[in-house]
Amino acid sequence: MTREIIVDREQMRMIKELMEVSFVLLETALYLNTHPNDERALRLHNNTSSQYAQLKEMYQARYGPLTNQGMSRYPWSYINDPWPWDMDFNNV
């Protein structure tokens, strides 16, 4: 029993960009946890954080909430495909 998932190329491109920016945020955060006084790293983190918020808003406006705290059009689209493990990153 397998579900048939239709994946939107543009959605995959956007989520991949979101994943890249969120990876930068994780790296700066882990570094800052042990180096809280590094101002340059903090600037990079803050700039990336605002970039992430913008990208996330754009993605969610188009494809529905990334978390169950987000707003949705009717009907509730948080449950829509694709779930992360069904995303196809070949050819993206």
Partner 1 sequence: MWIYEKKLQYPVRVDTTNPRLAAMIIEQFGGADGELSAGIRYLTQRWSMPNNRAIATLNDIGTEELAHWEIIGTLVYKLTKDATIDQVKGTPFEAHYVNHGKGLYTHDASGNPWIAAYYNVKGDPIADLHEDMAAEEKARATYEWLINISDDPGVTDTLRFLREREIVHFQRFGEALRIVQEQLETKKYY
Asked if 75 touches partner 1 (CB under 8 A), the answer is no
Cα–Cα distance measured from residue 38 to residue 36, given in angstroms and rounded to the nearest whole number = 6
Q: In Å, how far from its chain's centre is CA 1?
A: 29
The crossing angle, in degrees rounded to 10, of helices 39-63 and 9-34 is 150
Cα–Cα distance measured from residue 55 to residue 34, given in angstroms and rounded to the nearest whole number = 28
Q: Which is nearer to partner 1, 2 or 50 (CB)?
A: 2
- Give me the 7-46 binding string for partner 1, x by CB under 8 A, dash otherwise: --------xx-xx--xx--xx-xxx-xxxx----------
Residues of this chain that bind partner 1 (CB under 8 A) = 2, 15-16, 18-19, 22-23, 26-27, 29-31, 33-36, 65-69, 78, 83-85, 87, 89-90, 92
